[in-house]
Every structure is written in C-alpha cells, then in structure tokens.
Amino acid sequence: MSIRSYFMAKFYDASMKKMEEACMSSWRKELLSDISGDVLEVGSGTGINLSYYPSSINKLTLTEPEPHMLKILRNNLNHIVGEKCTAIECTANALKFPDNSFDAVVSTLVLCSVDSTDKTLSEIKRVLKPGGKFYFIEHVIAKETPKLIKWQKLFQPFWIHMCGNCHLTRDTEADISNAGFKFHSIERLKSLGSPAIVSPTIKGIAVNDKA
Ligand SMILES: C[S@@+](CC[C@H](N)C(=O)[O-])C[C@H]1O[C@@H](n2cnc3c(N)ncnc32)[C@H](O)[C@@H]1O
C-alpha cells in the first residue's frame, strides 16, 4: 500500500467529477440500463457505478484489488444497496470464481490499468456463461488521430507512474475482439472534462462466444 494509492482512492471521486458531469455519468447510465441476472464488476474503485444498476438485477458482485479503494467501496455499499450486493478483494487477472458463473461482467476504466489485458479478458471470458455479456467503457489509443497518439506516447510513462498503472495507448477494442468476444454494440466516443490524451473512449457490449 503506497501513499500514492491512498491519495488516489481518497480523491478519486473528486478527480472524476468534471468528467462525470460532462459525459461519464450519462454513459454509465445508458450502458447499464438493461443489464440483468448475476452481474460481476471488475475494478469497481469507489463504486461509482453503483447508482446505475437497475434494481431488477439478481445479484451484484463487485471486485477491487486495491485496499484503500475497497474500504471506500464497502463504505458506499452500506449506504446504497442491500443483500444482493457484495464487495470482494480480487484482481481481475485472477478472478476468484468458478467457470460460467455470471450472466454479465462490467469493466469501466479498468482495462487501461490491469497488468495484462489478455489475461484479464480471458478471465472475464472464463467466468461468463456462454452467451454472457461483457459491458465496457474504456479509454483507448487515439487510432484515428496520429498526432494525439504522439502525445499519448510522450505522457504515458508519467501517467502509468502517477495514475495507478493507467496506460494511454492500449488498443482495447482489438484486445476484446482477439479474446474471442463478438461485439453486440460499440461506440467510439470522445470524453469531455478530461485531458485530450484520455479522451478517446470505447463503450459497448461484447458477447462471450464460447460454445
Ligand atoms: C480509473 S479506476 C476506475 C474505477 C471505476 N471502475 C470507475 O469506473 O470509475 C481503475 C480501477 O481499476 C483498479 N485496478 C487496477 N488494477 C486492477 C486489476 N489488476 N484488477 C482489477 N482492478 C484493477 C484500480 O484499483 C481502480 O479501482
């Protein structure tokens, strides 16, 4: 546990406020509006998504590996939801659940920070039921703006160091596809209220195609 991770957890919601108001809040709401069944969220952070889950879901399992974040998450959980929701300390690189456990998995602004996107996506695929859905909002490499990629590459070492291993140049759309998911929907967006280097964003739902 570092001082940096303590401060990141403590000031995470405040640091997101502008972007939440400008776009993220409505994107989260749209994404999660029709999610159903047994749902797993990876990298839940402080629990920003909590208020966007429909009350009709069957069960919500939130996971977060970072102890300071987890403490805030558990505190927020007590205030918001009841028995159908639990928070577990767990990395997305090694999910503590049996195969085919969930109808849906949610990841918002997490695949940029995991150690291995491939390992994480293969874990998400493993715990999803066949035909289960992966809901995502992730900031990505600026594929359509080469000039911006240069800035992303320049700032990336600093960003990784200061922002909890957050990478700026991941091609997460390709990673999701290469992991064997089929896109049910995908939007390529630009977030507002954030620095340009983190603005290219993908939002969508991918289906677990395993037999
Ligand atoms: C930018 S925050 C996003 C928090 C929240 N999902 C949101 O939408 O605001 C990134 C989160 O990913 C978590 N994280 C980092 N590495 C992870 C890993 N290997 N597995 C799961 N979560 C991870 C961090 O602790 C942090 O809570």
Q: pLDDT tens digit string along 107-133? A: 999 999 999 999 999 999 999 999 999
Superfamily of domain 3-208: Vaccinia Virus protein VP39 (3.40.50.150)
Measured from the CB, is residue 117 less than 6 Å from ligand 1?
A: no
- Mean per-residue pLDDT, 64-89: 88
Ligand 1 centroid – CA 143 distance (Å): 23
Task: Locate the ligand 1 atom nearest the alpha carbon of residue 108 and give its number.
Answer: 8
Q: How far is Cα 187 from Cα 150, in angstroms, rounded to an integer?
A: 23
**Distances in whole angstroms, Cα of residue 119 to Cα of each of 47, 64, 188:** 23, 16, 24
Q: Are 172 and 204 in contact (CB under 8 A)?
A: no
Q: How far is Cα 132 from Cα 104, in angstroms, rounded to an integer?
A: 6
Q: pLDDT tens digit string along 132-190? A: 999 999 999 999 999 999 999 999 999 999 999 999 999 999 999 999 999 999 999 99
The answer to whether residue 210 scores a pLDDT higher than 80 is no
Whole-number pLDDT of residue 45: 97
